[in-house]
Structure 1
Amino acid sequence: MTGSEVPPSFRLVYVPGVMPDKWVRVWHERHPDVPLALAQVPAAAAAEQLRGGEADAGLVRLPVDRTVFSAIPLYTERTVVVVPKDHLVTAVDEVMPEDLSDDIVLHPLDDVLDWERGLPGRPAFERPATTADAVELVAAGIGVLIVPLSLARLHHRKDLTHRPLKDAPESSVALSWPEDATTDQVEDFIGIVRGRTVNSTRGRVQQPPADRPGRTDKDGARHKDGAGRKPGAAGKPGAAGKPGANRRGGASGGTPKGGGKRGRPRRRS
């Protein structure tokens, strides 16, 4: 197979916690001849993959560099605290930051939350390399971990649970791609994540509304009808009979003046 015969593919990367299955399934339904190459990458590596041309688009966590990338926000996740099942905070439905004041709060190097005001609780002596490592430390009773809900579910363990954390930063997920590489395939995937139907206009080719030609034709027909009525006014049944009768009278040369109304003359007695 030559290079020109290789079918084009759409390369999509996604970060941990994101579930692209439903969008990928729709892509395969709509574009069975265009393979979709799917790869999970660390959150910090997604931008480099897109910038280096190794992927066409990505399901990433915000923020992104808007001078380089376009992005469509998809949803914002709730933040939770992961704790052992026998932790005190499991007695409540929602945890306040001050409830963690006596706990060591682990802060992995791949954390995706923006802690401008600092983490609650006490810091650990070392930062775990990954979120997965931090989950292992929570299970060992070393501390607790604050993450987006999807990451808590991704690293679920039977001996751990989680509770929503109030007044904590949140993480938003977006579809992103290099601004100068908005291809037709990217436009197609944008339509999928936005829930457009297969017949929806995607924006790259703007078509006039389907009923616009019909309205134009209808207007034209009205104009034609109006134009036809003007000369046809003399051709109405009532008007047309008069000139027709005159013409017949002129041809016979002897029709009485009232003959057009009364027909045959009455016989005198």
Structure 2
Amino acid sequence: MTGTPVFRLGYVPGTTPAKWVRIWREREPDVPLELIAVPAGEAADAVREDRADAVLLRLPGDREGLHAIPLYTETTVVVVPKDHLITAADEVSGADLAGEVLLHPLDDPLGWPAPPGILARERPATTGDAIELIAAGVGLLVVPQSLARLHHRRDLTYRTLTDAPQSQVALSWPEGTTSALVEQFIGIVRGRTVNSTRGQQEAKAKGTEPVRARKPPRGRATSGKGAGPKPGGRGKPRRRR
């Protein structure tokens, strides 16, 4: 006897699956969705090793043996102390970072091949560790805006970096193993509705049909026997007395 199916969705720090999870629970009330937080460096292995059915991760990155559907592009920012000169502008360019020490954590999601400024000799293990160093006055950090928000501190802020590489958040799963549950989640992240052609096919496969509103036949009254004659039409002539 098989147990209740569960859809396991991994996600890396800073990604926001809440909207898609809500839609899943509305459409699949009998199939629990389990959220699994995974470090950025382990996201690809999470699905390769069957610890998750699919994962929200960042591109570019390790995609060997994986499908990936890009979902949205993230804004790139530079994280700085609140009293840094860069905060005088709303957005900055790479040239504004010349001469600045840049931290390059091991879980860096951008992979900027030739960043401006001076790369720090030591690489922090994580983005969180790099944030702590910035607060201590050691360097700046270029990251997706979602990570800057995730690691928000009162003594730090960030500014948009206009000419830096950008990361994409993508849904990824192993090649050759697209299960029905993964297919259903793909439809959700792509905005597929229940009444779409694909949605109807999936409903039929489950033995259910999407409910549609019935339209009244043309030319017939919709308000019952008491409906009067059409405007401008001739009513039944009265008998003279």
Q: Give the TM-score of the pair, scaled to structure 2.
A: 0.80
**2:177 partner amino acid:** A
2:185 match: secondary structure: helix
CA distance in 2, matches of 1:64, 1:203: 31
- Give the superposition deviation at 1:73: 0.7
Bigger share in helix: 1
Give CA-to-partner distance per residue, 1:14-45, whole Å, 9 cap, x none: 11110000100111111111011111111121
Query: What is residue 137 of structure 1 aligned with on the other side?
Result: 133
CA distance in 2, matches of 1:171, 1:42: 16
Query: What is residue 58 of structure 1 aligned with on the other side?
Result: 55
Q: Work out the number of aligned pairs and report it.
A: 203
Of 34, 39, 46, which aligns to 2:36?
A: 39
Change (3 A) 1:44 1:21: same
**2:176 partner amino acid:** D
- Give the superposition deviation at 1:100: 1.3
CA distance in 1, matches of 2:199, 2:62: 24
1:202 match: secondary structure: helix
Are 1:199 and 2:195 matched, yes or no? yes
Asked if structure 1 preserves the Cα contact closer than 8 Å seen for 2:192 and 2:199, the reply is no
Of 163, 167, 174, which aligns to 2:170?
A: 174
Of 122, 129, 150, which aligns to 1:126?
A: 122
Asked if structure 2 preserves the Cα contact closer than 8 Å seen for 1:188 and 1:202, the reply is no
- The correspondence of residues 1-269 of structure 1 with structure 2, limited to 5 A, is 3-4=1-2, 6-63=3-60, 68-116=65-113, 118-202=114-198, 205=201
Asked if structure 2 preserves the Cα contact closer than 8 Å seen for 1:187 and 1:202, the reply is no
Find the structure with the greater CA-based Rg: 1
CA distance in 1, matches of 2:183, 2:10: 16
2:198 match: secondary structure: coil
Structure 2 alignment gaps of length 5 or more: 205-241
Change (3 A) 1:64 1:157: closer
The RMSD of aligned alpha carbons is 1.8
Query: What is residue 239 of structure 2 aligned with on the other side?
Result: none
Q: Give the TM-score of the pair, scaled to structure 1.
A: 0.72
Asked if structure 2 preserves the Cα contact closer than 8 Å seen for 1:10 and 1:56, the reply is yes
Structure 1 alignment gaps of length 5 or more: 208-269
Change (3 A) 1:109 1:124: same
